Amino acid sequence: MKKFINKSKATSKHVCFIDGFSIRHGVIIGHAGGVWRVDCGGEIVSVWEDDIFTDSSAARRVLNTMFD
């Protein structure tokens, strides 16, 4: 599944990512070398570029395929 996030407009963009078997939400605060820094309510998390989703439904589809 290919996702597209415009890196020049990514700062302050709300995103979703999969952490373990749950979906987490946060705001992008920076990126470097394919790793995005996401602020999740005071916790700063580093997430690989391929694991970032622009909406929770896309993240939910990935989680559903893990259990099929």
pTM for the structure as a whole: 0.74
Q: How confident is the model at residue 3 (pLDDT cuts 50, 70, 90)?
A: low
CB 54 within 8 A of CB 2: no
What was the pLDDT predicted at 2? 47
**Above 70 in pLDDT, residue 1?**
no
What was the pLDDT predicted at 42? 87
Q: Which stretches of 1-68 are DSSP H helices?
A: 56-66
CA distance 57 to 30: 23
Tokens of residue 3, six digits:
């996702």
Residue type, 66: M
pLDDT in tens, 13-47: 899 999 888 999 999 999 888 899 999 998 999 99
**Above 70 in pLDDT, residue 52?**
yes
